[in-house]
Chains A and B, each alone.
Chain A
Amino acid sequence: MGPLKFSRKNLGIPYALFMLVFVLFPLVLIVFYAFTDANGHFTISNFTDFFSRSSNLYVLLISFALAVLTTAICLIIAYPVAYILAKSGAKTRNVYLLLFILPMWINFVLRTAAMKELLFALDSIGIYNVTDWYFVNTVIGMVYDYLPFTILPIYTVLIKIDKNVMEASTDLGANGFQTFVRTTLPLSVPGIISAVTMVLLPSTTSYVISDTLGNSKVTIIGKLIENQFNIGTADSWHTGSAISLILLFFIFGTMLLTGKFTENSNTRGSGLW
């Protein structure tokens, strides 16, 4: 075997190098920063400080409330949409599906800004209050931005359900509601879980929406991390890394629980193409 002999699996080598330098090494750095102080000495004070500051705990609470509220509203709106779409004929279904996906292609920041402009317009005709309802603004913005991402995974699961299962249920004497609760809903749980994971994380970390619509009164975990890296005091980067590590712990914990790693599901972009 000469060194120049080409083999397909050798293509993995440059790929592995890239991931080592730009995926794994950066994460190691976060761990390193999280457990050191500005002088590079080992410490756990970054963590203890974080949990002892009440403003930080408030941020956790707000993030949690926003995430749960957004996810719940998205699911309540999206499930019927996905259900109706899955039941319609192929042609109507495809047209509607396209209509629901289309807004996802507009730049995320501009889309959020458009919602801000709409809320201001509603404010100017007196049926909304942009300045006081900053929390509501943020929830509306998040639901608006993440709704298509909730519809798609539920729809994908619903469309694959074997029609015979529903028919069998009806044949065995169940009415429409019973069939839905006992067969369709349980069978669509994987879609619901993947929809939840798709909304839960960005709604606690993607601070573009809360910044644009929250009148700088809504701080979520993602914003808290960003702040640490912007103030630039000696140990703020270490604090920011510690918060990121806590976040990472939760993310990968949930992912291992839901088995996201193994099933190779492609989140954000997949539905688009």
Chain B
Amino acid sequence: MVKKILQSTYLWLILIFLYAPVVLLVVYSFNASTEIGSWSKEWNFSLYKMLFTDAKILNAIKNTIFLALSSSAIATILGTIGAIGMYYSKPKTFRIFNTITQIPIVNAEIVTAISLALVCSMLLFPRTYASLLIAHVVLTFPFVVTSVLPKLKQMDPNLYEAGLDLGASPLKALFTITIPEISPGIASGFMIAITLSLDDYIITNFTKPSTIDTISTYAYNAYAKNSANTSIPALRALSAIIFAVIIISVVAVNLSANKKVREREGK
């Protein structure tokens, strides 16, 4: 019994450490004070008003979401065809492909970032939205491959052959048999890609044009470069909103997963 209490006390202490910073921001986001550490007697939504009238931050939010969705979509397509292509190649080819695929995963982000920046300058390719998009695809596609490959391994190889025997063209068999079979891997690859793209700072900073900001680059400039930045209070409100969105979606996902489990058990 004592052991149990000690154990959960330990877990909760660590959880407090992990949540205290964010909870502090959430609390302060409803306070009229623009400085953490000094309370204002007034509790209101003034920081949220600041956030929703700050065109630069709103633009950064829009860029971040659009970039994450578009780069993840491309990375998912690229990673899926890559995984299929390498899986059905000769073992030696597979090993070479797989090793090169792992490079962006194990490499330091700063090295990937400057290597792409070098490509831009070498080819006289100006930093545009396109270079930023490609950079995010490079950052995320290996994770799609690593989540699709296990699904290909689990798949019954006879299904595809049966499709061909029954008269489907290879392309049709691919779309009606292989893709649906590996779709859970594709979906989780897409989700990982989105999370990584939303989070990235270093690669974004080295491949973006100066006119484009994402939440990461905007927040970095506000907090790391200039501690007196006037948009910090508005970013506090943004953090609170992001935190709320995460909690709501996690709860929603778990509720629907539980529901599915119960339905399956019911049958």
Tell me, yes or no, whether B50 is within 8 Å of chain A by CB. Answer: no
Q: Are B37 and A13 in contact (CB under 8 A)?
A: no
Q: Which of B28, B101, B112, B122 contacts A19 (CB 8 A)?
A: B101
A270: chain B residues within 8 A (beta carbon):
143, 146-147, 192
A84 to B111, CA, bound (A): 37
Tell me, yes or no, whether A102 is within 8 Å of chain B by CB. Answer: yes
Q: Are A266 and B105 in contact (CB under 8 A)?
A: yes
A124 to B28, CA, bound (A): 15
A117-134 contact mask (Cβ, 8 Å, vs B): 1 or 0:
110110111000000000
Tell me, yes or no, whether A264 is within 8 Å of chain B by CB. Answer: yes
- Give chain A nearest CB distance to B207 CB in angstroms: 11
- Give chain B nearest CB distance to A68 CB in angstroms: 17
Q: Are B97 and A15 in contact (CB under 8 A)?
A: yes
* Closest Cβ neighbor of A22 among chain B residues: B138
* Closest Cβ neighbor of B24 among chain A residues: A118
- Give chain A nearest CB distance to B248 CB in angstroms: 12
How many residues of chain B have a CB within 8 Å of chain A? Answer: 94
- Give chain A nearest CB distance to B264 CB in angstroms: 16
- Give chain B nearest CB distance to A191 CB in angstroms: 18
Q: Are A98 and B18 in contact (CB under 8 A)?
A: no
Q: Using A10-B85, A11-B82 as known contacts, say yes or no to A226 and B110 having CB atoms under 8 A apart.
A: yes
Q: Are B236 and A117 in contact (CB under 8 A)?
A: yes
Tell me, yes or no, whether B36 is within 8 Å of chain A by CB. Answer: yes
A96 to B103, CA, bound (A): 33
Tell me, yes or no, whether A174 is within 8 Å of chain B by CB. Answer: no
B222: chain A residues within 8 A (beta carbon):
113
Q: Which of A9, A125, A244, A255 contacts B114 (CB 8 A)?
A: A244
* Closest Cβ neighbor of A220 among chain B residues: B110
Q: Are B36 and A120 in contact (CB under 8 A)?
A: yes
A54: chain B residues within 8 A (beta carbon):
none
A222: chain B residues within 8 A (beta carbon):
108-110, 202
A61 to B36, CA, bound (A): 34
CB<8 Å pairs between A and B, sample of 24: A8-B88, A8-B174, A10-B85, A11-B81, A12-B89, A15-B85, A22-B119, A22-B134, A29-B118, A80-B10, A81-B14, A96-B11, A103-B18, A107-B199, A110-B215, A117-B28, A144-B17, A147-B14, A205-B109, A225-B110, A237-B121, A241-B118, A270-B146, A272-B192
